[in-house]
Amino acid sequence: MNIFIMRHGEAEVMANSDKARHLTVYGSKQAFLQGQWLKQHLSTLVINSLDRILVSPYVRAQETFHQVNQAFDLELENKFEIWEGITPYGHAHCVIDYLEVLKDEGVKSVLIVSHLPLVGEIVAELYGKRNPISFYPATIAQLLWDGNKSEILDASSISCNLFKINYSFLQKIKFLLVFYIIY
């Protein structure tokens, strides 16, 4: 089973409750871009699509799913379910129990849209090691799971890509400054 685990996009800090926090404008963009990445990535795999999507009932996770769905041209609309078991304080072993049920039903690919710390705990439980992936907002990790063990196949993070671009830009500026000082 291909399991894609996604943390919601960047969320606003203040709201009436944690459950009611919305995505920021940047968080919506992150989620949409990650949806585009996921759609393109799936097209390179044998599976080509997602069989099921599990989404936390929290507003920011639902908004993240809706942005991903937009990137998929609304193809995912009939494949998602809201599940209370994947809130920030959900339990990884319950998620894995449910993944076993889905696997037995013949589901080949699942996207989980959830929160820290749960997304990290699910990956750690499936992979057998703590913190193998840094879950920045909108990060997606892909695991291949056979029901016993899993292997991490890929991960994508908009935040990391932006950092690389910024880091590269800073390196160029540093080079130009050194060049200017020398000459």
pTM above 0.75, yes or no: yes
pLDDT in tens, 117-161: 999 999 999 988 877 788 999 999 999 999 887 888 878 886 544
In this prediction, residues 66-73 reach a mean pLDDT of: 98
- Retrieve residue 94's tokens: 């319950």
Res 8 pLDDT > 70: yes
Res 71 pLDDT > 80: yes
pLDDT at 48: 79
Q: Are 27 and 137 in contact (CB under 8 A)?
A: yes
In this prediction, residues 94-113 reach a mean pLDDT of: 97
In this prediction, residues 167-182 reach a mean pLDDT of: 50
pLDDT in tens, 10-35: 999 999 999 999 999 999 999 999 99
Degrees to nearest 5, angle at CA 164 with 115 and 169 = 140
Give the percent of the chain with pLDDT over 90. Answer: 72
Q: For residue 121, how far is the Cα from the chain centroid?
A: 13
Q: Are 27 and 156 in contact (CB under 8 A)?
A: no
CA atoms of 156 and 79, how far apart (whole Å):
22
So what's the architecture of 2-157 in CATH?
A: 3-Layer(aba) Sandwich (3.40)
What are the strands of the beta sheet with 52-55, ordered from one edge? 80-82, 52-55, 109-114, 2-7, 140-145, 150-156
pLDDT at 154: 78
Res 90 pLDDT > 90: yes
CA atoms of 113 and 5, how far apart (whole Å):
6
Res 1 pLDDT > 70: yes
